[in-house]
Each structure stands twice: as C-alpha cells, then as structure tokens.
Structure 1
Amino acid sequence: MPSPLFADRSAPQPPERGMVDALITQTRRLRGDVDAVRRDAPLDETDDAQVRWERALCDLAVHQLDDLGAHLGQLKDGLPSTPVEPAAALPAPAAFPGSGRGSLLTRVGSAEWNLLTDEVSWSDELYEIFGRAPGSGPLSLDELPSMLLAEDQYLLTAMVTDCLVDGKPIDGEFRIARAGDGAVRTLHMMGEPVLDPDGCTASMWAVLRDVSALRRTQRAVRENRDTLELHRHLVRAERKVAVQLQEAVLPSWRGAAPLPAGGALDLAAYYLPSASGELVGGDWYDAMELADGQSLLTVGGLTGHGVSATSSMAMLLGALRGMALAGVRPGALMGHLNQLLGTSSAQPSLGSAVCCQYDPETRLLTWAQAGHPAPLLFRDGRGRPLTPPRGVLLGATTGTAYEQAEVTLREGDLLLLHTEGLSRRSATDEESRSRLLSLAPRFADALSARECVRLVLEEFGETEREDDACVLIAGIGERPAR
C-alpha cells in the first residue's frame, strides 16, 4: 500500500497501543449511553415531528460512534504484535453493536493505482464494497467511473484529475451501483498522490468508505428537522390568526364600560392567557347595552385551542349579541346557542357560558347558565355564589331547555363573572371559588371595578395556568366611599 512519501507530508507515526485501547473503551461506553437514550425514546408517536427528529439524531450519533469504534479496532489490529490484556479487561472491538468485523470489512477498503507500471492493488474490503468477486480483479482508474451513477461520474473524474495533475488530495463522495445486485451505495473517498524521490506522481492511493447508512440517517435528521420547523411555523401562524380573530371579536375596553349613560354599571374585564402564552382558547367576555335600556353581561368558553376554537367562539358570541339585541331572554338564548353549537361547529366541541340581563330600573338580574361557574355576588364585605338554575354544557345534547334565575341587586353590590382556568388545572372549582370569595374585604374597599380586577390579577396573575381565562366585574351604581 502507500509509500511513506506523500504529497507535502511525512509518514504518520503509529499511536501507542494503550491510547487506542483507552479510546476504544471510552467510545464503547459512550455508544452504550447513546443507545440507551435511543431505546428510551417513545415509539408510538410516529406523527410527532419532534420525536422523529430526536430519534433520527440518536440514530446518527450511534452510526458515527459505530464507525469510530470500528476504525479504532482496525487501527489496533494494525499495530505491532504485543501481549493483549485479558478479554475481561478490554473486550474486543466487535463488542460494538452493529459494527463487528464482518460489517467493518464491507464498509472500509483501500486501493493503490501505480501510474508507472499500471498495477492496481485493491484490499478485500473494497471488493465487498463494490460487489465484485476477488477473481474478477480490481478496476483501473479508467474503468472505475463505469461503476458510478451517470450523474456522479464527473465528480470522480474531477477529483482524480486534480490529484494526478495538481497534486491535490482527494476528499469527496459519489454513488455507485454495486455489481450483481445493483444496489446504490454512497462512498466517501479520501486519497493522495504518492511522489517518487524526484517529486513526480508515481501512484495514487485511496481509502473508500461505504457511508450509505450514515447519509440515510443524516438525511432523516434533516427531513425531520425541516418537518419540525414547518410544524412550528404552522403553529406560530395559526396562533397569530387565532390571536387576531380573538382581538377582533372581544371588546377592547379594560376599564370604563362602553355603556353610554346613567352610570348603572361600572364595568371592567380582563383576559388572562395561559402560562406558556402559546394556547389561545375560545374563552370570551362581553357587555353591551340592549335596545330596551337593559344591559347584557356574559362570559363563556369552548373546549380546544387555536383557530378552530376562536372561530367557533366568534360565531357563538356574534349569535349571542344578535339574539340579545332582538330581545331573546337568557334561558331561551342558551337553548339557541346549544342548538347552534351542535349543528354548525365544523369540529365537535363543548362549551360553557353564563348570560345575564340587568334592568337598571328595577335592579333585577335575570340569568341562565350552561355548565358554567355561577356568578359571585359581593355585598357588605362578604361574597357568595348565586344559586344556579339548571343548564347543561353547550353542545352536549340537543333540544335541552335552560332555566332562568332572578336576583335583585342593591346599590354598591359587585357581580363577578369568570371562566374556568383561573387556577392551576389541579385546583378544583371549589378552591378557585374560595380564593375569589376571600377577596371580599378588599373588594369592599376598592373604588372601582377596574381596581377589583387588579386585585383578581394580583391573586391569580402569577398562577401557572394551563389554559386561558376571563374575568368580568360589574359594580352596581356608585361605589361606596372609604
């Protein structure tokens, strides 16, 4: 094989045996650790782009460590013969899974082409790589391109020409069609011209490595990474659309109510996003003045997230506003929303809602609910939930009748409507309600509905919510002075 005189470099010195053995041991240990990570990866989430990408990366790392272990084993076998430690102290390189001597011999081979005598020397491994019988003899540099795919032949020609004419080292890849089975393999070729004492090119040597499995794994990593990036892009785009739709539908006010006159209600509301900020759900809040001088107060939410949930929310909220302006009472209104969600939603979903109509002349609150937390009434420094009328979740069943309840409010009362999700998912509805009711003394000292909303945010704003939530507070008449 190669002469000790290479282009512009001296022959390398063989490494110490102990160093190679230590590297083999370290590589084997690292390979086992990476393989353990690969085995622990979930196998039943084939549609998850991130899982596929992670597994492809693990496969790539295993391939590379297999190759490193096999190459170190070959280097060890080529060292001068010395006593070998017991097998228990240092297992043979074949202990690398998938990279025993049999696979190594079919993956790395060497060749030398003598330009002066036209002699060609191939290692046995190279015959295995090209699928040729050793008796058929090696291929000359003129014959070698015939094994390559047509579109890659110019690559080999350019590399060999640069090596023989300009003395440049060879480092490139091409694809071959193996003799016999016609299997396409990707080979990585590294070589240099061998110079005679006069500095002329006497021969060319090369090491060829079958990197087909490695390139397939790298391609899988790239494809899964691209798929994951596309998935993330689509998620970001969907979230942007969902946020824009939500902002277009929900009232933009946060403090003073849009109700024009009379000072009948002091309103404030707030939308609390999930802790991650990534989940945009179908929760809503709304308040509006009706044609007969009464006021509509409503909060609600739909299951699911993203554009589907926000678009269904926009449909329901638009229908709710229209029916309320047309004079439909809360109980009947809930029945219509239930029918609408069951027949018009593209994706089956459930929803909960509470709808209140307030008459400022009589201070009578008429309300209905569909599987939703009851409004909380705060009076004289104490709070309590209103007794809910019967009503099932929206979309749960068709033809359901929703009852109404009535309560007479007083000057200075405070009404709090909220959706689920204020607390952590592990918290029960009772725990969330208790935390809200505990704010009663502080609400009594607050000067406005906006200040009361601020108190709710102080209590729940830092909560690691897994979902979004809404809160709407209505003060009845003037707030009492402190």
Structure 2
Amino acid sequence: MPPHLSADRPAAQPPRRGTVDALISQTRRLRGEVDAVRREAPGDEEDAQGRWQRALCTLALHQLNDLDAHLAELRDGPPEVPAPPPAPAAARTAPAAPRTGSLLSRVGSAEWNLLTDEASWSGELYQILGRDAAAPPLTLDELPSLVLDEDRPMLTAMVTDCLIDAKPIDGEFRVVRPDGTVRTVHMMGEPVLDPDGSTASMWAVLRDVSELRRSQRVVGETRESFQRERHVAQTEHRLAIELQESVVPPWRGSLRLPRTGPRALDVAAHYLPSSAGAPIGGNWYDALELPGGETLLSVGDLTGHGVSVTSGMAMLLGALRGMAVAGTRPGQLLSWLNQLIDTTVQPALGSAVCCRYLPATRTLSWAQAGHPAPLLYRDGTGRALTAPDGVLLGATSGAVYGQAEESLRVGDLLLLHTEGLIPRNAAAPHPGEAGGEAGTAAVQRLLGLAPRFGEARTAQDCVRMVVEEFGGAEREDDACVLVARVGS
C-alpha cells in the first residue's frame, strides 16, 4: 500500500543520500562494537552481573538492527507497489514473504476507510497477525477480536481519540495469533483528512516488537537479580565484619600478659583487611591469660570467605579458648580442634599456630597445623622456629600434632602471622636476596626487619613497622600479625 498524504500537510522531502549513508555506517560500526562487548561479557550463568551485561547488549543490538534497517529504507525510499487489479477476496494473494526475522517481516501497514468501511492491509501485517492472506482484512470494529481482553480498552480508546479528536495513535497491545502464540504489536497511526478537514480514514503502521520487549524484560529481570545479589553480598559482608569485630576486636595499644608478676609478655596485634570490596575471611589472632599465670598466643585462618566462614572461625576460636583454659596443651588442643572441624556439617580447612607461654621458666610450648612457624628475634637477628609435625585442620580424621618447646630470654621477640600478610605478587625477595618459593621469600622479608625490631621500645612499635612495610600492598586475602616481647 503506497503511503498516504494527509490533506493538511505537504509531502516531506527525502534526506540527502550521503547523509543517510553516513548514519548507516555509524550504526553498523556501533553495532559491531556492542557485539564485541557482548561477547566479552562473562559467560557464567551464575554471574548475575554478567547475565545483566549480556542482556543489555542484546537489547541494544535489537535496536541497532532495526535502526540500520530503518535507515536503509529511508535511503532507498518507499517501495513501489503497483495497484492491484480488482479481484474478489478469495483470489487475494500475499506478496512475496520477506526473510524470516527481518525488519520487513515485523512491520506492516493498514488503512481503514471510514466512508466505505473498507480496510486495506499490507502482506506484512497478515504475517504479523498470523492471518491467512486470502482472508479479508479486519475492519476497525473487528480488530479488537485479535487483542487480549485486558488490552482491548486501551486499543479502543486510542482508535476513538484518533477518529473523533484527530489524535495520533502511539501505543502497544498484545494479539493472539491463530496458532495460540501471543505477540506484542506497537501501533502508530493518524487520521487522514478530506479537503473539508473531516476524518476520511485512519492510516497506521504496526510493528511486531515482541523480541524487543522480551529483551527489555530480560534486561530488567537480570538487573533486579544483580541488584538483589549485590544487596545480599553487601549485607553478608557487613554481617561478617560485625561478627569478626565482635570475636576479634581491635587492640588499642599493647597488652601485658599476665597482668601481674614478672617476666610478662608485651603483646600487640593487628588485622590487615583484604583489598576494598573483597569478602571477609576467617583470620584471627588471640592472646589470653590462663589460670596459673600462663599466656595463650594463637593466630589462624579458616579457608573461605563470608558469614559462614567468619562464624566458623568464631566457633573455632571459642573452642580453642575453652580447651586452653581447661589446661589442654597445644599439641592435644589442635588434635581436638581437628576433630571438631571433622564433625561439623560444613566441611572446612584451617591452619593455626598455638603457643603457651610459662613466665616462671620463660618456656614457650607450641604446635602448628599447616601454618607458618613463629619467628624468633634475638640480638638483632631473626629465625623461624623448627616446626613440629602438623597437617591442616580438617584435612584428615584422627590427625596427631607434635609439640615443640623453646626457651626464651629477656628481650626476645616472637612474631606470629597468617599467610596472607604478604601478597603473592609482593613476596619476591629484595634485590640481592636468594630466590625461592613465595613462602620462603615472605619469611625472609619479615626476618629482614630484625634490626629495626631491635630498636623498638614496645611490641606495638614492632607491629606498626610490619604494617608500614606490608600494609599498603594489594592483597587478595585478609591477614593477621601478632608480636610478643619477653619482659624482665
């Protein structure tokens, strides 16, 4: 059907071809860039943000494809359709079907003559509505029979406003095709006026926007899913922080343990969080005065992140304190902790070092479970203590943990830390140092602080030096450091 000319306006002049060609080139270039972004979006269906990114890119591609086709039609001008010879409705034949899924198969036109009550549909409109091309086109009174019940009042109102008040039509409604499928149709139309200014007919373009609306719904759903998951993650992160701070509160300065008596330890500790936005892990440090004047020192790390790991760490630390107060020695204590983890519903792995200091003899008894050994600094030099046997907590049932003893002197300094203290990308030795595995390099960097520790007055000063040395690095995991200096 050739485009109509409204009697109250002149025909618009087509734009210059070169201008439209430039717009087509820009559209296709942008379409290629959007498609590249879509391919680079994460493909993991568990990733809500990735699903939202791909859905948004798909929606943009739908719109750019339609824009490209629209501009091509604008450049080439309206198709010349010869007026068909008069023929009975039964002899009506549809024009050649365009490519499936193309823009032309989704855009049709119609005109309803109000004086003769005749209707004229394009072949594309028959395809959109799933109608037999041999059937007569529906009149305006018959058209609502294709529309879903809840959308009929809107269509009726739009057509009435157009015919009575000469208002343009611009709205959407859903139609049910004969095969039962539901399609969303966007209708744009306007009245065609006769020389007297009266409405003679109504002309409209109908476009199948089902796929476009589906893409928009997917974008909305994935956006909501992403926002919900982000809200849950933020809530869990906040809960994990609150739980961790309630179990491992930050220390303000040094502690003296035991609080009374000679040969006490000057103890300080610090928690170093992971990089901004990373989940809270299961690291802990602890210093506790025990009955009889002994002191418990421990650091550890339960693998994983989030509220469940932080709550598991709280359970583990509570059990450790309780058994230590009951007099359990470090080796046996770790064996029972391993048994506790082995019987929990949530499988977990953890590392820990547990030390018990007896001030009367300045003796340190200690055990470790797959954890870096304590570092001992004396007379300006440092070394790692020789570790007794011990596997990760939760690694195997019935594990036995060895126990070692070390005689300390006045002024000795012990440093306990978790593995995340030095990030892997920052664990390489300084120039001139011997190479080795990342763990060895990390220990060497810590031992290199021995001369500075010798000049420090308190354990808190030593902790501050460690934080200054390693605290500014980007780390994937959180970490803890605990320093204890033997007093006179």
* Residues 131, 67 of structure 1: alpha-carbon distance in 2 compared, 3 angstrom cutoff: same
CA contact (8 A) 2:170 2:186 kept: yes
CA contact (8 A) 1:370 1:394 kept: yes
Amino acid at match of 1:337: L
* Superposed structure 1 runs of 4+ greater than 4 Å apart: 99-102
From 456, 466, 470, the equivalent of 1:446 is 456
Deviations 1:247-273, CA, capped at 9 Å, x for gaps: 111144242216432361111111101
**In 2: Cα distance, 1:291 partner to 1:245 partner:** 27
Question: Match of 1:269?
Answer: 269
Matched, 1:235 2:236: no
Amino acid at match of 2:346: Q
Question: Match of 1:183?
Answer: 181
Aligned-pair CA distance for 1:310? 0.7
Structure 1 SS opposite 2:124 = helix
Question: Match of 2:447?
Answer: 437
Structure 2 residue runs without a partner (length 5+):
81-97, 428-437
User: Which residues of 2 match residues 208-357 of structure 1 at below 5 A?
Assistant: 208-257=206-255, 259=257, 260-262=259-261, 264-344=264-344, 346-357=345-356
CA contact (8 A) 1:254 1:450 kept: no
Question: Match of 2:138?
Answer: 139
**In 2: Cα distance, 1:126 partner to 1:100 partner:** 14
Deviations 1:412-439, CA, capped at 9 Å, x for gaps: 1111100011122343111111111111
Matched, 1:460 2:470: yes
Amino acid at match of 1:152: D
Question: Match of 2:432?
Answer: none
- Report the TM-score, using the length of structure 2 for normalisation: 0.89
**In 2: Cα distance, 1:55 partner to 1:277 partner:** 23
**In 1: Cα distance, 2:69 partner to 2:276 partner:** 46
* Residues 101, 364 of structure 1: alpha-carbon distance in 2 compared, 3 angstrom cutoff: closer
**In 2: Cα distance, 1:277 partner to 1:111 partner:** 56
* Residues 105, 133 of structure 1: alpha-carbon distance in 2 compared, 3 angstrom cutoff: farther
Matched, 1:115 2:114: yes
Amino acid at match of 2:223: R
Question: Match of 2:56?
Answer: 57
**In 2: Cα distance, 1:456 partner to 1:138 partner:** 83
* C-alpha RMSD of matched pairs (Å): 1.9
Of the structure 1 ranges 147-156 and 34-43, higher mean CA displacement relative to structure 2 is found in 34-43
**In 1: Cα distance, 2:122 partner to 2:277 partner:** 61
Matched, 1:29 2:32: no
**In 1: Cα distance, 2:41 partner to 2:265 partner:** 57
Aligned-pair CA distance for 1:100? 5.2
Deviations 1:205-243, CA, capped at 9 Å, x for gaps: 111100001111111111111111111111111111111
Aligned-pair CA distance for 1:359? 0.9
**In 1: Cα distance, 2:225 partner to 2:374 partner:** 46
Amino acid at match of 2:480: C
Percentage of identical aligned residues: 66
**In 2: Cα distance, 1:6 partner to 1:441 partner:** 96
Question: Match of 1:425?
Answer: 424
CA contact (8 A) 2:339 2:397 kept: yes
Amino acid at match of 2:487: G
Amino acid at match of 2:339: Q
Structure 2 SS opposite 1:103 = coil
Amino acid at match of 2:15: P
**In 1: Cα distance, 2:321 partner to 2:34 partner:** 59
* Residues 249, 67 of structure 1: alpha-carbon distance in 2 compared, 3 angstrom cutoff: same
CA contact (8 A) 1:242 1:307 kept: yes
User: Which residues of 2 match residues 332-411 of structure 1 at below 5 A?
Assistant: 332-344=332-344, 346-411=345-410
Question: Match of 1:94?
Answer: none
Question: Match of 1:96?
Answer: none
Structure 2 SS opposite 1:466 = coil
Aligned-pair CA distance for 1:29? 3.0
* Residues 19, 190 of structure 1: alpha-carbon distance in 2 compared, 3 angstrom cutoff: same
**In 1: Cα distance, 2:132 partner to 2:146 partner:** 14
Question: Match of 2:83?
Answer: none
Amino acid at match of 1:232: R
Structure 1 SS opposite 2:186 = strand
Amino acid at match of 2:485: G
Deviations 1:332-371, CA, capped at 9 Å, x for gaps: 0011011111112x32111110000111111111111111
Deviations 1:456-477, CA, capped at 9 Å, x for gaps: 0100111111000000111111
Question: Match of 1:88?
Answer: none
Structure 2 SS opposite 1:297 = strand
* Residues 79, 140 of structure 1: alpha-carbon distance in 2 compared, 3 angstrom cutoff: closer
Aligned-pair CA distance for 1:199? 2.5
User: Which residues of 2 match residues 96-115 of structure 1 at below 5 A?
Assistant: 103-115=102-114
* Residues 126, 80 of structure 1: alpha-carbon distance in 2 compared, 3 angstrom cutoff: closer
User: Which residues of 2 match residues 70-89 of structure 1 at below 5 A?
Assistant: 70-78=69-77
**In 1: Cα distance, 2:165 partner to 2:466 partner:** 78
- Report the TM-score, using the length of structure 1 for normalisation: 0.91
* Residues 353, 195 of structure 1: alpha-carbon distance in 2 compared, 3 angstrom cutoff: same
Aligned-pair CA distance for 1:2? 5.0
Amino acid at match of 1:266: D
Structure 1 SS opposite 2:419 = coil
Amino acid at match of 1:439: L
Amino acid at match of 1:408: S
CA contact (8 A) 2:293 2:358 kept: yes
Structure 1 residue runs without a partner (length 5+):
82-98
From 456, 460, 469, the equivalent of 2:479 is 469
**In 1: Cα distance, 2:463 partner to 2:154 partner:** 71
Question: Match of 1:163?
Answer: 162
* Residues 267, 137 of structure 1: alpha-carbon distance in 2 compared, 3 angstrom cutoff: same
Of the structure 1 ranges 32-41 and 48-57, higher mean CA displacement relative to structure 2 is found in 32-41
**In 1: Cα distance, 2:76 partner to 2:251 partner:** 78
* Residues 101, 323 of structure 1: alpha-carbon distance in 2 compared, 3 angstrom cutoff: closer
Of the structure 1 ranges 386-395 and 67-76, higher mean CA displacement relative to structure 2 is found in 67-76
Amino acid at match of 2:453: F
**Total equivalences in the alignment:** 457
